[in-house]
Amino acid sequence: MPLSRKVERRSRELADLAAWSVERLQAMGAEHCEVGVASGRELEVSVRAGRPELVKEASSSGMSVRVIVGERVATSSTTDLDRAALEDFFRRALEMARLAEPDPLALPPDPKELARRIRPLDLFDPRTDRIDAAAALARAERAERAALRHDRRITASEGASFGRSSAVSALATSGGFLGTAAGTYQSLAVQAVADDEGGKKRNGVYWTGARFVEDLERPADVGREAARRAIRFLGARKIDSGKMPVVFDHEAARSIVGLVASCVLGDAVYRRRSFLADKLGKRIAPKFVTIVDDPHLPRAPGSRAYDGEGRATRRNVVVRDGVLESFLLDTHSARRLGLEPTASAAGGGSIPHATTSNFFVRKGRRTPKSLLRGIDRGLYVVRMMGFGFDPVTGNFSRGAEGFLIEGGACTVPVGEITISRNLGELLLDIEGVGNDLDHRTAIASPSLRVAEMTIAGR
């Protein structure tokens, strides 16, 4: 969808300011510099029991700069974009750089490596900013009302919330790169509550999010799904401790994939804060598992045409047919490791670091239901809690909720348990990949079946 005239005008203004800032910094003595400028708007509302609880709307703008003088680096940021004020800001940044320790690895990319063309990715919806507080509250109210009316066993709501944001940015570098980007996002979430035996509360949470308003699920459908998720856990109980097969639904599997993502970033690898640091070129998963980082998916939440250093982004296959093929690297981490950058930098005027874009396990051919077949007794995980993960060793342990699998089908709801295993072993023990991948989130996965995990219950 083409940008509105207002957004195009704002993009030009930010690009002009970024380009002028690079010129001024060079004139004041910067040998290299990067300037990122951004402005944005956001709205957040929430309701509870049919009454508004929060209405918050804000706009912001700011600039970040990274300057290099004689291999000495400094970064700084400001929200005052008046050009006279920026002159003083630039002087202070250069003074900071002259006092810093030299770091030859922090030098920017060669100008020949920078993008010359900005790829369109359809990331901005002009309708986003037109959703005012009244319309946002109405969406949240409809969703909560649908949850409360779905079933008499839904006794309360922890609320419903709607948020939307839009941003326009520009990046200019002394290497000759100048690019602009614009994006929007909106989401709606509901949390329904059902009363269970013994005074326990069973919460059901569901949400929808997208860059474009038209891609959101209907508020009533979001509310009903939240209620359904609360009700299905009525009567949840612990199960006996032991080892058994586990199937992660696609939302729970996303958490597993997020841990993998954190361990393939350049900073974690060169600092030896990753159990995958020595696994490049080695098998870390079965042959039918491929993991991709793809910044070029239209309308996807992690998409971008250029990275934080001005390189044109590219699709990176991180794990190909089970083999770890690539880390995700910015210039600095690539130099540390003696590898080539993968156009995965974030920063844009601040300290560059490697990041993901749309990071996901490529979907398989099996339906989620078929992943249960052949399991006499196992666990189907729909939600995980806590942050029990050591990236150095790969040891993983988290609270979980789900359903007992008996005879190849989900039966009773299960809660108050912990699942654990070394993540490296877990990846190698994947037995099946589902076909239910969706890109609602930047880190995503289809359902996954793992041969065995340790369950701590009663």
pLDDT in tens, 257-269: 999 999 999 999 9
- The pTM for the full model equals 0.95
Q: What are phi and psi of 448, to 5 degrees?
A: -130, 140
Q: Is beta strand 345-346 parallel, antiparallel or unpaired with respect to 323-324?
A: unpaired
Q: Model confidence over 45-69: pLDDT tens digits?
A: 999 999 999 999 999 999 999 999 9
Q: Model confidence over 233-278: pLDDT tens digits?
A: 999 999 999 999 999 999 999 999 999 999 999 999 999 999 999 9
Co-location of 137 and 274 in the same domain: no
Average pLDDT of the residues in 451-455: 97
Co-location of 250 and 182 in the same domain: no
Co-location of 190 and 284 in the same domain: no
Among 31, 53, 35, CA closest to 44? 53
Co-location of 266 and 362 in the same domain: yes
Co-location of 223 and 308 in the same domain: no
Instruction: Give me the pLDDT at residue 458, please.
Output: 79
Co-location of 13 and 87 in the same domain: yes
Whether 143 and 223 have beta carbons less than 8 Å apart is answered as yes
* The pLDDT of residue 168 is above 90: yes
Q: Model confidence over 379-437: pLDDT tens digits?
A: 999 999 988 999 999 999 999 999 999 999 999 999 999 999 999 999 999 999 999 99
* The pLDDT of residue 1 is above 70: no
Co-location of 28 and 12 in the same domain: yes
Q: Which of 198, 230, 262 is the last residue of a domain?
A: 230
Number of domains in the chain: 2
Co-location of 179 and 267 in the same domain: no
- Could you write out the three-class secondary structure of the chain? CCCCHHHHHHHHHHHHHHHHHHHHHHHCCCCEEEEEEEEEEEEEEEEECCEEEEEEEEEEEEEEEEEEECCEEEEEEECCCCHHHHHHHHHHHHHHHHHCCECHHHCCCCHHHCCCCCCCCCCCCCCHHHCCHHHHHHHHHHHHHHHHHHCCCEEEEEEEEEEEEEEEEEEEECCCCEEEEEEEEEEEEEEEEEECHHHCEEEEEEEEEECCHHHCCCHHHHHHHHHHHHHCCCCCECCCCEEEEEEECHHHHHHHHHHHHHCCEHHHHHCCCCCCCCCCCCECCCCCCCEEECCCCCCCCCCCCECCCCCECCCEEEEECCEECCCECCHHHHHHHCCCCCCCEECCCCCCEECCCCEEECCCCECCHHHHCCCCEEEEEEEEEEEEECCCCCEEEEEEEEEEEECCEEEEEEEEEEEEEEHHHHHHCEEEEECCCCCCCCEECCCEEEEEEEEECC
Give the CATH number, domain containing residue 77: 3.30.2290.10
First to last CA, the chain: 54
Domain extent, residue 293, equals 236-458
Co-location of 47 and 191 in the same domain: yes
d(CA 431, CA 451): 6
> Under 8 Å CB-to-CB from 278, ≥6 apart: which residues?
none
Q: Which two three-digit tokens encode residue 405?
A: 């699998």
Q: Which two three-digit tokens encode residue 215?
A: 């891609």
d(CA 131, CA 55): 13
Co-location of 55 and 133 in the same domain: yes
Q: Which of 211, 230, 249 is the last residue of a domain?
A: 230
Co-location of 35 and 54 in the same domain: yes
Higher-confidence residue of 196 and 169: namely 169
